[in-house]
Amino acid sequence: MFSLSDCALNFRFSLRVLCLLGVSGVIIRLIHFTDAEARTIVANWRAANPWAMQFGDELWAAMLEAKDNPGEVTTVGRINFVFISGLLGGSMLMQLPSGRFLTYRRLHWDMVPVKDDDDNVIGHQREMTYARGFGRVKLWKGELVNNATQGTAADILRGTLVRLEADGFKIRLHTHDEVLGEVNEQNAEAYSEALAAVMQQGFDWSEGLPIVSEETTSPYYTKWEAK
């Protein structure tokens, strides 16, 4: 999943869309989109994935209901929301399937400036914002979808790393969605199969979620599949 502000269709996001479409990152220097072209890509993705749009609408509605009813829990599938007015200036908590909470601090409606392509203020609009770092950022349904899915994926990886260590795997490092283990070359195939079994095992709270993994072997760390 990915999120996008309707007014922030820049090159960075354009490349991210291309990565999702399977375009190789080696052509990064050759790619450029106008705002109109990027908007078309986003519109096509949304049309091809109506389930994601529906999920976003449901999350947004549940979040707003929780905001209007402090202390009451609202639920969408396995995601829960509760707004606690006395926590950190008024915070929305999103509970993930694992039980972990994501916190949106000092959440409230704001009138924010709308700028043109030359960074001139041409008006104002009402947006839900929350505190992050030393400033405030917009909260919208796309971010809720992204946070729910990426947060759940992160919880699966964290739990799996703990399980791998307990099972004796020699894990040397991990990235946000990868685990790197070390093994003698002659044991690589068996290690890969055992790793796959653990990676796809899941947890009680993840039952029914589609968990898949791909294993490759290489004499050095690489982002490309070894041949």
Q: What are the backbone angles phi and psi of residue 116, rounded to the nearest 5°?
A: -85, -175
Pinpoint the alpha helices (H) of the chain: 11-20, 35-48, 50-68, 141-166, 188-199
- Give 181-202 pLDDT, tens digit per residue: 988 989 989 999 999 999 999 9
Q: What is the pLDDT of residue 71?
A: 97
- Give 86-113 pLDDT, tens digit per residue: 999 999 999 999 999 999 999 999 998 8
Q: What are the backbone angles phi and psi of residue 4, rounded to the nearest 5°?
A: -155, 125
Query: Whole-angstrom Cα distance, residue 156 to residue 148?
Result: 12
Q: Tell me: pLDDT of 22 over 70.
A: no
Query: Whole-angstrom Cα distance, residue 157 to residue 8?
Result: 30
Q: Tell me: pLDDT of 212 over 70.
A: yes
Residues 169 and 160 sit within 8 Å (Cβ to Cβ):
no
Phi/psi-derived region of residue 170, left when phi > 0, alpha when psi is between -120 and 50, beta in every other case: beta
Q: What is the pLDDT of residue 32?
A: 78
Query: Whole-angstrom Cα distance, residue 156 to residue 124?
Result: 40
The ranges assigned to domains in the chain are 1-48
The encoded tokens of residue 144 equal 């809720």
Q: Tell me: pLDDT of 131 over 80.
A: yes
Residues 115 and 107 sit within 8 Å (Cβ to Cβ):
no
